[in-house]
Amino acid sequence: MGLFEDEFYSTKISRRASKTSRKQKMSGFPLRSRKDWGAGRLALLSGASGAAIVLVLALALGGGSPEAAVETAGTPAASGLVAPGDAIQQTVAASSKVRPAVVSVVNEQAAFLPQEQEGAEDGAEAPQDSADLQPASVGSGVIFAKKDGKAYLITNNHVIEGAAGLKVVLIDGETRPAKLVGGDYITDLAVLEIDGEGIETIAEMGDSAKLQSGEMVMAIGNPLGLGDSLSMGIVSKTKQIIPVSLSQDGNYDWEQEVIQTDASINQGNSGGPLIDMQGRVIGINSMKISDIGVEGVGFAIPVNNAMPIVDQLMKTGAVPRPYLGVYTLDLASYYAQQGLGGGVPDAEDGDAAAESPSSGGPKLPGEVTAGVIVLEAVGPASEAGLQFNDVITKLDDQSIGSTMELRKYLYGKKRIGDKIKVTFYRDGKPDAVTFKLQDKSEEEE
């Protein structure tokens, strides 16, 4: 990502020059020549060093559990467990297990036509056929199910956003047309359908709740359009909360829970799997931080969070959420824009273009410093009487200071059909209205 355009974020990170002293003080036991060491001491030291190496390898392969380390270290290879000397083979086996299920996703969009095609009526767009579509971007995906002769794969919603056509490239290079089953821009997940003939490998889903910091993982996908590619690292943090801009205007209006990893994730990796050392999918690669001085900070959507969304997309093609019907601008952003010539507003329920308030903006008492300005009210909000320049400060009894807080309360605490009380200010006076939340119709998308 940027959550969008492969979810790349630009962050401001303080730079501190770290200096490491090259001089180290020697303390403790006095140094002795090896000639002074007896054969018994050397043997004891060698044995202890060997045991320590075995223990470290066993810990790495046993998931960090001391019990698993003892069991692995004392168990012969014939038992079926991976011996320390087989660490490389474990990574090979894990990647081989899932790689055939990893695909490239090609987003095709209409090619630019400098002139209208002959025969097109004035003002009418010429019809587009497959020959007019050109690859606009490439991402990744992973096949997770096969049913009734069709194979289904997970990818990121931003990978397929704006596509006029979709194609999937299998690991052997075969290209197949793909159909969008459904997508959800809030969680940045989408499901595609392709012909399942000849597809035998279905990725096994793991349990992201069991991940541990320091656990080794691999990212598989199509970085930079290079095709089937692997990168390896560790889980830096099992649960990281990062702000995202759903409307891509630079204003954060949502938060995403992700797995942080230092496995290399680049443009094109989006939608591909993050797997553990047993070849199980534990995350969907989604974004990275891209900035000078920032390395090894990538993010994946936990598979435990992704699969309920995927299941809903398989059932209905969309994720139903309660619809309030307001396009908003954070009050703090409005105040900041007064000396900066305005800016692009946030949208609570969609991406409609709305003009920011003029210098004759909302009137508020001095104690009101946080809220969201209504730029446009539609659907249920309009029917309830909300208007341009109203400033929402509460939903039910929950204080609302930003569009992010509004969305989090609305999507996390309410359901379609629930009643909601909206407290707001109009012309400096407080008011409130209660109405039912609706589902968002296609006309309002």
Same domain, yes or no: 266 and 364: no
Whether 63 maps to a domain, the answer reads yes
Boundary residue ending a domain (296, 315, 334): 315
Do 309 and 332 belong together in one domain?
no
**Cα–Cα distance for residue pair 317/181, rounded to 1 Å:** 6
Question: Pairing relation of β-strands 280-289 and 204-205?
Answer: parallel
Q: Please check whether residues 140 and 249 belong to one and the same domain.
A: yes
CA distance 374 to 388: 5
406 Ramachandran zone, left/alpha/beta (phi>0; psi -120 to 50)? alpha
Q: What is the pLDDT of residues 292-323, one digit of tens each?
A: 555 668 899 999 999 999 999 999 999 999 99
- CATH at residue 350: 2.30.42.10
pLDDT of residue 337: 80
Last residue of a domain, one of 289, 315, 341: 315
Same structural domain for residues 142 and 256? yes
337 is a domain residue: yes
CATH number at residue 226: 2.40.10.120
Could you tell me how far CA 79 lies from the centroid of its own chain? 39
More confident residue, 407 or 291: 407
Residues 54, 185, single domain; the answer is yes
Same domain, 58 and 169: yes
Q: What is the pLDDT of residues 236-283, one digit of tens each?
A: 999 999 888 877 766 777 888 999 999 988 888 899 999 999 999 999
Distance of alpha carbon 239 from alpha carbon 438, whole angstroms? 32
How many C-beta atoms surround the C-beta of residue 39 within 10 A?
Answer: 7
pLDDT exceeds 70 at position 366: yes
Co-location of 244 and 341 in the same domain: no
Nearest to 175 by CA among 136, 135, 230: 135
Count of domains for the chain: 2
Whether 31 maps to a domain, the answer reads: no
Position 150 scores a pLDDT of 97
**What is the reported pLDDT for 346?**
54
Give, for 48, the enclosing helix (H) or strand (E).
helix 39-61
Among 285, 315, 345, residue at a domain's last position: 315
Which residue stretches of 122-176 are H helix? 157-160
Q: In this predicted structure, what is the pLDDT of residue 226?
A: 73
The predicted pLDDT at position 10 comes to 34
What backbone phi and psi angles, to 5 degrees, belong to 362? -65, 145
Residues with a known catalytic role: 158, 188, 270
> Is residue 237 domain-shared with residue 338, that is, in the same domain?
no
* pLDDT value at residue 252: 78
76: left (phi over 0), alpha (psi -120 to 50) or beta: beta
Mapped onto helix, strand or coil, the DSSP state of residue 249 is coil
Rounded-to-integer distance, Cα 194 and Cα 39, Å: 68
Residue 386, domain extent: 326-444
Kindly state the tokens that stand for 401: 């200071």
How far apart (Å, rounded) are the C-alpha atoms in residues 420 and 437?
A: 7
Residue 37 lies in a domain: no
Q: pLDDT digit string (tens) for 167-182?
A: 999 999 999 999 999 9
Name the pTM for this structure.
0.71
Higher pLDDT pick, 138 / 34: 138
Averaged pLDDT score across all residues of the chain = 77
Residue tagged 């919603």 (tokens): 157
